[in-house]
Chains A and B, each alone.
Chain A
Amino acid sequence: MLILRRTLPTALAIAVGLFVLVALLLPVPLLSTIGTYFIDCAVIIAAFALFLGLLNVVRVHLRHIRERTKTWPYSVLLLVALFIVLLIGLVTLTPSQADQSQPSGPSHPALQWIYTNVMAPLQATFGALLAFLTLAAAYRLARIRDAASVVLLVVTLLVLAGQASFGLLPVLPQLRDWILDVPALAGMRGILLGVALGTVLTGIRLLLGVERPYSD
Chain B
Amino acid sequence: MIYCPECGTANRDGSKFCNECGHTLLAQTGVKCPQCDTLNAVQSVFCSSCGGRLLAQPTPAPSAITPPIKGLSLPTKTTVGEDEEDVEQLPTEGPEVPLVSAMESPVRSTRAEGAGELIGEESEEIPDWLRDLQASLPVEPELEAPEPQFTLRPSPPTPEAEVERASELDLQEEIEQSPETPPAVLEEAPQVEAGKVPDWLAELRSQASIAEPEKPAMPPVPLAEEELPSWLAELKASSEAEVPTAPPMEAELEEEELPSWMAELKASSEAEIPTALPMEAGLEEEELPSWLAALKVSSEAEVPAAPPIEAELEEGELPPWLAELKADRETLPSISEEGPKAEEGAPSVQHEKAPPGRQGHAAPEVIGPEPMPPAAEEVPKGQEMPDWLVPTPGMGIPGEGETLARAEIPAWLLALKPRELEAEGDAVEPVVEKAVEQTGVLAGIRDVLPVEMLIAQPRAATPVEVTESPFSAEADLVEAPRARLFAEIVSRSPVVAPKVVAKPRARWLDLLPWWIVYALLILAVAVPLLLGEPLFNRSIEPAPSVEALYEAIESLPGDAQVLVAVDYDPTTSGEMDIVGQSLVSHLMDRQARIAVVSLLPAGPATAENLVEEVAADHPDYQTGDGQRYVNLGYLPGQAAAVRLMGQSLPYAFPRDFEGRQVTDLAALSGITSTQSFDLIVELAAATDTLRWWIEQAAAPYGIPMVAGGSAAVDPMARTYYETDPQQLTGLIAGVPGAASYDSLDSGGTGLEPEMAIRLDSLLAGQVLVILVILGGTIAVGSRIRPKSVPRRGAGREQ
- A residues whose Cβ falls under 8 Å from a Cβ of B: 32, 36, 39-40, 42-43, 46-47, 49-50, 95, 103-107, 111-112, 115-116, 119-124, 126-128, 131-132, 134-136, 138-146, 148-149, 152-153, 156-157, 160-161, 163-168, 173, 177, 180-181, 184-185, 188-189, 192
Contacts and interface: CB of A to CB of B under 8 A. Distances in A.
B647 A32 contact: yes
A201 B47 CA distance: 91
A41 to B, nearest CB: 9
A139 B783 contact: no
Contacts of B657: 103, 105-107
A49 to B, nearest CB: 8
Given A47-B636, A127-B571, A107 B651 contact: no
B773 A112 contact: no
A152 B640 contact: no
Contacts of A50: 601, 636
B563 interface: no
Contacts of A173: 541, 736
Closest 6 CB pairs of A and B: A167-B538, A123-B570, A164-B766, A139-B776, A43-B637, A143-B781
A188 B712 CA distance: 12
Contacts of A128: 574
B521 interface: yes
Interface stretch (B33-41, B183-191, B583-591, B713-721): B713-721
27 contacts: A43-B635, A95-B659, A103-B657, A104-B658, A105-B659, A106-B633, A106-B657, A107-B658, A127-B570, A131-B521, A132-B518, A139-B775, A139-B780, A141-B776, A142-B773, A142-B777, A143-B783, A145-B783, A163-B734, A166-B736, A166-B739, A166-B763, A181-B722, A185-B715, A188-B718, A188-B719, A192-B716
B648 A36 contact: yes
B776 A146 contact: no
B621 to A, nearest CB: 18
Interface string B735-778: 01001000000000001000000010011011111101111110
Contact of B718 (A103, A138, A185): A185
Contacts of A161: 766, 770
Interface of B: 514, 517-518, 521, 536, 538-541, 543, 569-574, 601-602, 604-606, 608-609, 631, 633-638, 640-641, 643-644, 647-648, 651-652, 655, 657-659, 711, 714-716, 718-719, 722, 734, 736, 739, 751, 759, 762-763, 765-770, 772-777, 780-785, 791, 794, 797-798
Contact of B719 (A153, A166, A192): A192
A88 to B, nearest CB: 14
A50 B782 CA distance: 48
A116 to B, nearest CB: 6
Nearest to A189: B719
B5 to A, nearest CB: 64
Contacts, number: 203
B604 A106 contact: yes
A215 to B, nearest CB: 21
Contacts of B631: 107
A180 B736 CA distance: 14
Contacts of A120: 570, 573, 605-606, 609
B797 A152 contact: yes
A59 to B, nearest CB: 20
Contacts of A189: 719
A39 B640 contact: yes
Contacts of B769: 134-135, 138, 160
Given A116-B609, A148-B797, A142 B781 contact: yes
A43 B652 contact: yes
A18 B202 CA distance: 130
A169 B777 CA distance: 25
Contacts of A105: 655, 657-659
Contacts of B609: 115-116, 120
B786 to A, nearest CB: 10
A144 B648 contact: no
Contacts of B739: 166-167
B772 A139 contact: yes
Contacts of A153: 773, 777
B229 to A, nearest CB: 104
Contacts of B648: 36
A128 B765 CA distance: 12
A165 B763 contact: yes
A17 B251 CA distance: 125
A183 B306 CA distance: 109
A36 to B, nearest CB: 5
Given A104-B658, A107-B657, A144-B784, A39 B644 contact: yes
Contacts of B774: 157
Contacts of B540: 166-167
